[in-house]
Structure 1
Amino acid sequence: MKIAYICYEVQERYVVGTTGDEDTELLQFLQGKGLDIHREIWTDQTVNWQQYELAILKSPWDYIDKIDAFYSWLQVLESYQIRLLNPAGIVKWNSDKHYLKDIAAAGLPVTPTAFLERGTTVALSPFFDQFNTNRLIVKPCVSGGSKNTFAITRPQVADLQPKIQTLVQTESFLVQPFIPEIETAGEWSLLFFNGKFSHSLLKKPKAGDFKVQHYLGGSIHPQEATAQQITSAVAFVTAFAKDCLYARVDGVMVDGQFLLMELELIEPLLYLFTHPESYQDYFEALVSLM
């Protein structure tokens, strides 16, 4: 079986602050296992996609800036009957953070979220009382890497609301209360391969910031999740990541409960370097789905 290993045009940006290039190291590991697998750039117009039977989404990290082209590319794969991992329907659902509504509707614990729909009038002040918070997080529904993400206090509303109003004319945004535990305790990431738990880690922002991404100054701490945390994360994977090669469940502990921040099913960094068995876990999950 010939497999396309899907990446994006630039390979360096998101590996700053980690050890090595996960895309290359995982690809070489899978090739060393005898798989007929080849790196392809999803936006490369010269690729003959019809030569592939299976495609793995590894790091199409620029899809957020080219979302319509990304959706069209998914349709191209479907037209050629190329099976995608993770499945295309789940990928499209997961590309827009309105998916948090579905998870909350299923009764699972999710960070409280409201939406500023495209083209509507923005009024941020009521959300402080709605969420009983002094700080809001506002970000696009199709987003990644903290692009156009704002942390807003009440005194900042007058200055920032016009800018957000302009942005909402072209895309939808979400509003959430700032979760202080991210600053004090960090954000957990639990990694699953074909529904099976592999490894976990804790991400912490730099002093004075709330962004945990390592390329924005955050730090990565390999750490074993508790049985309770794993059980909580399994519930999200079981309900919303069926037949997925990989799933990363990002959350924070609030009053003893694992509260979901994001369910990453498109292009998450897998932090394979933090766990010696993770490459083998990934390989075994892939073989089981082939």
Structure 2
Amino acid sequence: MKVYILTSKEHADLFYDDKKLIEACKENDIDYEISIWDEDIIPDNSIVLFRTIWDYTKKEAQFRALLEDFNKRNIKTINPVDTIKWNMDKSYLVELYNDKAPVVPTYISKNYSHECIAKSKIEYPLVLKPLVGASGYDTFLLDSKDSVVDASVLLGREVIIQPFMKDILSEGEISFLYFKDRYSHSVIKSAGNGDFRIQEEHGGKVKRYIASKEELTYIDNILSKVEYEWSYARVDVVRSEGKLLLMELELIEPELFFRFSDNGESALIKSLGL
């Protein structure tokens, strides 16, 4: 059966790291087709693998409509639609925190205004970012109440407020990659070019990270609290006072860093059960 690999128009030929998925499909005799998520029509009863749909947050209503359309037409998505919907809204961080997962303190404002910072009781420096967002866009670091950073683009929007985790500047953010409940590989991402964001498009750097057994046990515990099905997961954490804290759990379209893995792309394709 064919798998439709969804991407964005910007990455119509796939992001360079995801090209390894094509090799894995060929090696496993799986038919595939690369499709633009907001342009191409996927046939009924198909199988879809979400990949570099990295502009979906800018077209949220259209993306949500697409998910409903997939459900109506019996299109199986990987990850499943219910999982995608749950993970789109970063309220899941509060959910996991309430379930005793080690999460960076998170305050959610459904209608952000400057007064929300005081209500959050989160101390400066702090980070503001959209409740539905990706890739560090519209994300702002405020070092004090007198900060001159202009975050007005967030006014009236759904926003999360978190303390700025200073260790992200010294050590970086660690990402643990899993395919079908099995650990695959890890990377560590560090900020660059004077920016606090660790994404490569903002000047960040990435290298392979060797995870310890203790760390993997810790990450397994976080994933055990997720009540939704998934075939791929990226767990982003930062170390604070020696303890790993969850920054984000990526179950929609995370960069999977196959280039730092030992056949991670093949593990993902095989997990589809085609």
Aligned partner of 1:37 in structure 2 is 32
Distance 1:13 1:209 in 2: 29
Shift of 1:134: 3.0
Aligned partner of 2:155 in structure 1 is 168
Aligned partner of 1:187 in structure 2 is 173
Aligned partner of 1:255 in structure 2 is 241
Which letter maps to 2:137?
A: K
TM-score (norm 1): 0.87
Aligned partner of 1:145 in structure 2 is 135
The one of 73, 98, 105 aligned to 1:80: 73
Residues 254-280 of structure 1: CA deviation (Å, up to 9, x unaligned): 122210000000000000001122122
Aligned partner of 1:18 in structure 2 is none
Aligned length: 274
SS class of match (1:59):
coil
Q: Residues 1-290 of structure 1 correspond to what in structure 2 (within 5 A)?
A: 1-11=1-11, 21-44=16-39, 46-50=40-44, 52-118=45-111, 121-123=113-115, 126=118, 130-131=121-122, 133-157=123-147, 159-160=148-149, 163-164=151-152, 167-169=154-156, 171-206=157-192, 208-240=194-226, 242-287=228-273, 290=274
Shift of 1:215: 1.7
SS class of match (2:10):
coil
SS class of match (1:270):
coil
Distance 2:248 2:13 in 1: 21
SS class of match (1:199):
strand
Structure 1 stretches of 4+ with a deviation exceeding 4 A read 12-15
Residues 193-235 of structure 1: CA deviation (Å, up to 9, x unaligned): 0111000011111153211111211111101111121111112
Further displaced range: 85-94 or 250-259: 250-259
Distance 1:278 1:272 in 2: 6
Distance 1:114 1:155, change over 3 A: closer
- Segments of structure 2 that go 5 or more residues without pairing to the other structure are none
Question: Is contact 1:212–1:219 with CA below 8 Å preserved after alignment?
Answer: yes
Question: Is contact 1:137–1:151 with CA below 8 Å preserved after alignment?
Answer: yes
Question: Is contact 2:46–2:75 with CA below 8 Å preserved after alignment?
Answer: yes
Shift of 1:183: 0.3
Question: Is contact 2:21–2:266 with CA below 8 Å preserved after alignment?
Answer: no
Question: Is contact 2:189–2:198 with CA below 8 Å preserved after alignment?
Answer: yes
Distance 2:99 2:34 in 1: 37
Distance 1:201 1:85, change over 3 A: same
Distance 2:4 2:271 in 1: 16
Question: Is contact 1:135–1:178 with CA below 8 Å preserved after alignment?
Answer: yes
Distance 1:80 1:58 in 2: 20
Distance 1:226 1:13, change over 3 A: farther
Distance 1:263 1:168 in 2: 25
Distance 1:3 1:207 in 2: 39
Distance 1:150 1:211, change over 3 A: same
SS class of match (2:102):
coil
Which protein is richer in helix relative to its size?
1
Residues 164-204 of structure 1: CA deviation (Å, up to 9, x unaligned): 3x6332x2011110000000111000000011100001111
Shift of 1:69: 0.5
CA RMSD in angstroms, aligned pairs only = 2.2
Query: % of aligned pairs identical?
Result: 27
Question: Is contact 2:191–2:204 with CA below 8 Å preserved after alignment?
Answer: yes
Distance 1:179 1:215 in 2: 20
Which letter maps to 2:11?
A: Q
